[in-house]
Structure 1
């Protein structure tokens, strides 16, 4: 969530480093908490400047809690204000069983569920610059020190990350994403495995996640759910005239048996004309969600008649 909010407030394009973030005294002192079992970036000193990209890499790969707190202060002015933003955003994303009490997720009072984390993961995969970081097997910090990615799913099987997390109480946890080309479309899956307590817990959660990830990818297949010419809706001219709307191409959805596919019909933000001939493009049918969705134009099946004078008078009345 910390990465999500930072990227929403400070967008980062692929290949860019982003703005500089000055390391404060607290980030340096917090970096020494590795001696108490915290994951930190212990190579930073007060006055150093981290690029946004390096700060995100420190956050996502070595799980640097001191950098999470630094990013919170940089973004919102204080850790308290940032945590308020985290909880507000969780509500907006429908993460009903999630509550944040710190920017790093380390405190035991910060809680979530696998289902909620998948909702967040579906948003994170929409940041290519972040996925370029999380799919790295290792990262070299500005001092030259190398940090391994404890998500051992990357860079195999189309895995993109996203984030490990572990404590003795919480066990091993992994929010993961992967992609595969199916029927010419780049399909993304997001999953979460939590509470793996068999030692070593990181190895256990990686193994469980790999099993889920590869099995899901192997199940993906395309199926035609709408044929060219199928009626997918109706439009009216607001004055009594109407016409059915049809798909202009075959539409395939990718998924697995039993999956419910979301369909959405929109007018592309344009006003439907009062009159138009058959075949006029009047909107878009969207199949699926997120980065894997498929879009196809929809058009009038028959002519949409111009309103008569009587229709207009009735409308005015």
Structure 2
């Protein structure tokens, strides 16, 4: 008789139990692995930038002589009219005299400088220049004035005898001054300017309108000259009450610089005016040569200055919250990269603006987190950089998405 051998019940269950455990281990391993796999960075794309527009300047130039005008710190703003040849500049020459003398005998703001004792030779210049109808100021025997006071009489009243005296005092002779002036002009790149003597009575003292704009900017950069040419009236011992010959001073923002009158030159003016635009002070420097008289020239200067001032514009580079890019995640979430703050610049005339956004590599992020930058390139300006931040958060999609989309974020 055959005999049936029965295996223990526990032996039958063991393979089944092992299989179940194995499946559970694999499942847990999958879930853990799927949950632990890091996401790849969100894809990033930048948007097309719509640049702001600006206008071409339409300036009001006179129909005579030579004119140049430029907004300081806006090099591309230089505009010219008339001829470009060197012209007689009359008493604008005295601006060169002041700067050359101050280069030799410097003054700090607030200082009056050394005392000048006017010699008989200097006093003789009064009669010399008066004989040729040159502008002069009293210079009594034994007069002593500071360097600053002498500059006031020369630049404000345009007194030729004081200009000649300053040149002799600083350099010893007119010839020595002429050589010093030539070296100074060369050093400052004023290649189209010639100075034969310090007063401007010599018609061979010549310059171009564009060179004079450079000269005007050098004058304003010297705090002593800038202060003197902006002074309307002063009393100087021995010379009396001195009024500035520039009748535009204080009108339309005009703060200088120097008049000039000579038969060969006509009426001339080296001028500067400052305006408040876009929360900033902007200065315009110009030169107008060859006018019939100073009344009509002054009218033309005022018209020109107004047209220059009207061409300053504040343009918006970016509004706060403006979109410059978008991040997209594997779980179909999107968030824009937006400008953290608004950005504006003051420009003059026609201006070209371009923008280049750079987005960081991110996976998750909070609202307002910095995620890149946009760099603006602007005509006549230093580049401007604006931070970019997330407009809304990029949040973890959660464990369920990770389990149901295995490894899609990797």
Structure 2: gaps spanning 5 or more residues = 1-95, 320-340, 354-378, 386-410
The 1:144–1:93 alpha-carbon spacing in structure 2 relative to 1, beyond 3 Å, is closer
Q: Determine the structure 2 residue equivalent to 1:186.
A: 281
Q: Determine the structure 2 residue equivalent to 1:138.
A: 233
Q: Determine the structure 2 residue equivalent to 1:18.
A: 113
Q: Counterparts in 2 of 1:159-170, with a 5 A limit?
A: 159-170=254-265
Query: d(CA) in 2 for partners of 1:223 and 1:12?
Result: 40
Q: Counterparts in 2 of 1:217-236, with a 5 A limit?
A: 217-223=309-315
1:142 shift after superposition: 1.4
1:296 shift after superposition: 9.2
Query: d(CA) in 2 for partners of 1:128 and 1:226?
Result: 37
1:65 aligns to 2:160 (yes or no): yes
1:258 aligns to 2:350 (yes or no): yes
Query: d(CA) in 1 for partners of 2:126 and 2:179?
Result: 24
SS in 2 for 1:36: coil
TM-score, normalisation: structure 2:
0.54
The 1:208–1:21 alpha-carbon spacing in structure 2 relative to 1, beyond 3 Å, is same
Task: Please tell me the root mean square deviation across aligned C-alpha atoms, in Å.
Answer: 3.4
TM-score, normalisation: structure 1:
0.69
Query: d(CA) in 1 for partners of 2:224 and 2:309?
Result: 23
The 1:215–1:29 alpha-carbon spacing in structure 2 relative to 1, beyond 3 Å, is same
Q: Is the 8 A contact 2:252 2:302 kept in 1?
A: no
Q: Which structure has the bigger radius of gyration? A: 2
1:172 shift after superposition: 0.2
With a CA cutoff of 8 Å and minimum separation of 6, indicate the structure with the bigger relative contact order: 2
The 1:251–1:132 alpha-carbon spacing in structure 2 relative to 1, beyond 3 Å, is farther
Q: Deviations over 1:161-180 (max 9, x none)?
A: 10001012210000001112
Q: Determine the structure 2 residue equivalent to 1:86.
A: 181
Q: Is the 8 A contact 2:271 2:286 kept in 1?
A: yes
Query: d(CA) in 1 for partners of 2:183 and 2:242?
Result: 32
Choose 56-65 or 206-215, whichever is displaced more. Answer: 206-215
Structure 1: gaps spanning 5 or more residues = 228-248, 262-286, 289-293, 299-317
Q: Is the 8 A contact 2:140 2:238 kept in 1?
A: no
